[in-house]
Structure 1
Amino acid sequence: MWHPGDAIGFISCSNGLTNNDRSLEMVSSLSRKLKHDFGLETVMSDVLFLDKETQQTEAPASRAGALLSLYSDASVKAIFDLSGGDLANEILPYLDFEIIKKNPKPYFGYSDNSVIVNAIQAKTGIQNILYNPKVLVSQEEAFQTQALRDLSSGNDADWTSTFGIGGNSDSEQSSVVFAGGNLRCFLKLAGTPYWPELENKVLVLESAGGRYEAMCSGLAQLEQLGAFEKINGMLIGQFTQIELDGKKAAFLAVCRNYASRYGFPVWETAFIGHDDHSKPIRIG
């Protein structure tokens, strides 16, 4: 995936980072860590932070242009999106997917950037990574460093082996393909040219703030989109607000009801979600 001396591009395709000491230190710490632990350089996008004058996220065309610049930069071997929020889907009409396809490299993003992770994969076939790079400088730094090492070395097959997805042979395990991410944000792609093909894929779902009723509505929308007729399984990560509300069992029962009706299995994991234990998972 990368080698010492290569570069990682930092960008915000969703809401820009705030111009405060905490954000600046996070970016600096992450850059230092990549250099110290992986020998990687950093290329900073000029849309990483909010505009200093307006304190607004940079315009969609500007963010899309910055992303395309990172794809076109041969020294950049992967792109880390450090943002989240609501605005990721704004940039999709401005992306030149031919440029991305000619310069394949993995895009790492999470939460609202489930939009970008899945849209780029759908339009180009490039495998992207559902992951929040900021957890590399969290309280779980050691855990996340190993998780990223495992990913970069191709030693991340534990997703398939842990949940018994696929068959017993390595080839059958490695053939498992994932799609999805944050439920609310993933559904922004519904009805657009950026919606991924779900045939024979395992659908990954998680959420931070959505309450039980909103998330059940999201599952109903997935059914009405025909998703459950196509997928080979559903991998349920953390649904933070639902767990806080004491409705996790009820939500899982709804998931399993859909699964029984459409004949696919449901797995659970504590390693996909909005906390510092969330591990990288390949999309596509």
Structure 2
Amino acid sequence: MWHPGDAIGFISCSNGLTNNDRSLEMVSSLSRKLKDDFGLETVRSEVLFLNKETQQTEAPASRAGALLSLYSDASVKAIFDLSGGDLANEILPYLDFEIIKKNSKPYFGYSDNTVIVNAIQAKTGIQNVLYNPKVLVSREEAFQTQALRDFVSQIEADWTGTIEIGGKRASEQSAAVFTGGNLRCFLKLAGTPYWPKLENKVLVLESAGGRYEAMCSGLAQLEQLGAFAKINGMLIGQFTQIELDGKTAAFLAVCRNYASRYGFPLWETDFIGHDDRSKPVRIG
């Protein structure tokens, strides 16, 4: 995937990072981390932060152009999106997927960037990564350093702590092809040319802020899109707000009902989601 001396591109395809000391230090710390532990240089996109004059996220065409520049830069071997929020889908109409396909490299993003991770994979076949690069400089730094080393070495996450809910062993996930990510954001692709093929894939779902009713509505929309008739299984990650509300068991019961009706296995894991111990997941 990369070697010492290669570069990683930093970008914000969703909401730009705020221009404050905390964000600046996070970016600097992540650059140092990649240099010291992986021997990697970094290239910072000009749309990484909010526009200093307007304090707004840069325009969709500007963000798309910046992303295409990172794909076209031969020294950049992977792209780390450090943003989250709401605006990732704005850039899709401005992307030249032929440029991306000719300059194949993995895009790492999470949360709202579920949109970009899946759209690029659907349009180009490039395998991307559901992952929040900022966790490399979180309180779980050591854990994440090893998780990324394993990932780059093709040592797949074993999803230790996975709870079997369906009829297949968790170990059977090792051969799975994954799709999905944040439920709310994944559904932004529904009905668009960027919706991925779901046949014979395991659908990964997680959420930070969605409450029980909103997430049940999202599952219903997936069913109405025909998703559950196509997938080979579903892996449920962290649903943070649902857990805080004490409704995890009720939500899993809803998931289990869909799995039973459509005949696919269902698993739960603590290692996919928005906390600092979430591991990278290959999409596609």
Which residue type is aligned with residue 58 of structure 1?
Answer: E
Q: Give the deviation of 1:158 after TM superposition.
A: 1.9
Say if 2:28 is the partner of 1:12: no
Matched residue, 1:31? 31
Residue ranges of structure 2 left out of the alignment (5+ in a row): none
Sort the Cα spacing of 1:88 and 1:282 in 2 relative to 1 into closer, same or farther, 3 A.
same
Matched residue, 1:142? 142
Q: Give the deviation of 1:175 after TM superposition.
A: 3.9
Q: CA–CA distance in 1 between the matches of 2:205 and 2:174?
A: 20
Q: CA–CA distance in 2 between the matches of 1:174 and 1:260?
A: 22
Say if 2:267 is the partner of 1:267: yes
Which residue type is aligned with residue 20 of structure 2?
Answer: N
Q: CA–CA distance in 1 between the matches of 2:161 and 2:239?
A: 23
Question: 1:237–1:268: 8 Å Cα contact kept in structure 2?
Answer: yes
Instruction: State, as a whole percentage, how many aligned pairs show the same letter.
Output: 89
Q: CA–CA distance in 2 between the matches of 1:128 and 1:52?
A: 31
Residue ranges of structure 1 left out of the alignment (5+ in a row): none
Which residue type is aligned with residue 233 of structure 2?
Answer: G
Question: 1:108–1:131: 8 Å Cα contact kept in structure 2?
Answer: yes
Q: CA–CA distance in 2 between the matches of 1:124 and 1:194?
A: 10
Q: CA–CA distance in 2 between the matches of 1:177 and 1:75?
A: 28
SS in 1 for 2:219: helix
Question: 1:160–1:174: 8 Å Cα contact kept in structure 2?
Answer: no
Q: CA–CA distance in 1 between the matches of 2:13 and 2:53?
A: 19
Matched residue, 1:221? 221
Q: How does 1:91-240 map to 2 (within 5 A)?
A: 91-159=91-159, 175-240=175-240
SS in 1 for 2:42: strand
Matched residue, 2:256? 256
Question: 2:202–2:235: 8 Å Cα contact kept in structure 1?
Answer: yes
Which residue type is aligned with residue 231 of structure 2?
Answer: I
Matched residue, 1:84? 84
SS in 2 for 1:158: coil
Q: CA–CA distance in 2 between the matches of 1:67 and 1:282?
A: 20
Note the alpha carbon deviations across 1:198-247, whole angstroms, 9 max, x for none.
Answer: 00100000000000000000000000000000000000000000000000
Question: 1:160–1:176: 8 Å Cα contact kept in structure 2?
Answer: no
Query: What is the RMSD computed on CA atoms of the aligned residues?
Result: 1.9
Say if 2:55 is the partner of 1:55: yes
Q: Give the deviation of 1:176 after TM superposition.
A: 1.5
